[in-house]
Structure 1
Amino acid sequence: MTQLFHHANRQKSERSKRFYARVEMAYTLVDFTAAMCFVIGSVLFFWPTWETLAIWFFVIGSVCFAVKPTLKLWREVKLAAMDDNKDLSERL
């Protein structure tokens, strides 16, 4: 069975390389969104009338930060399982 978080998993095939690249783009987008939410939320706290909106930006940013490890774990599980049917007969 293939190990999780093993660098060779992302190089197994063209399909795994494309999948890895797509998830990395999503990861970067989520990371950037989280950072921007925290910056915007921080600036909005300068004005008391915008405090509620600032709190929502912090909540959204926090959710984005929670999505990041979820994306990474999903990526690694899928990469480890990708093309793993080659040795299926040996495991049965």
Structure 2
Amino acid sequence: MTIPLRRLVVIRRRYEVLSMLNDFAIGSWFLVGSVFFLYPSLMDAGVWLFIVGSAQFLLRPIIRLAHRLHLQRIPASNWEF
């Protein structure tokens, strides 16, 4: 069974979209957290948003690793170019 190039492109694009959504979420947490720091009553929530954003940075290499492992499960001899 050969894996068409089109399928490989679909796999790559899915991981790219996942990575972009993750980056968007990280930016959102840090932006909202920064605004929260302008108001003393929201400062604790701002700290938590920074913690969530920082933890989410760990997802970036996990997404890349998952993509690589996904492609490694497909034997190169099955790729159709």
State which drifts further: 12-21 or 26-35.
12-21
17, 27, 47: which one aligns with 1:25: 17
- What TM-score do the two structures reach when normalised by structure 1? 0.73
Please name the residue that 1:37 is paired with. Answer: 29
Gaps of 5+ in 1: 1-11, 88-92
Please report how far the alpha carbon of residue 85 of structure 1 lies from its aligned counterpart in structure 2 after TM superposition: 7.1
CA distance in 1, matches of 2:21, 2:33: 18
Please report how far the alpha carbon of residue 80 of structure 1 lies from its aligned counterpart in structure 2 after TM superposition: 2.4
Greater length-normalized contact order (CA 8 Å, ≥ 6 residues apart): 2
Runs of 4+ more than 6 Å apart: none
- Identity among equivalent positions (%) equals 27
Q: Match of 2:68, as an amino acid?
A: E
Please name the residue that 2:66 is paired with. Answer: 74
1:4-37 deviation digits (Å, cap 9, x = unpaired):
xxxxxxxx62221101101100100000110111
Higher strand share: 2
The answer to whether 1:64 aligns with 2:56 is yes
- RMSD of Structure 2 on Structure 1 (CA): 1.7
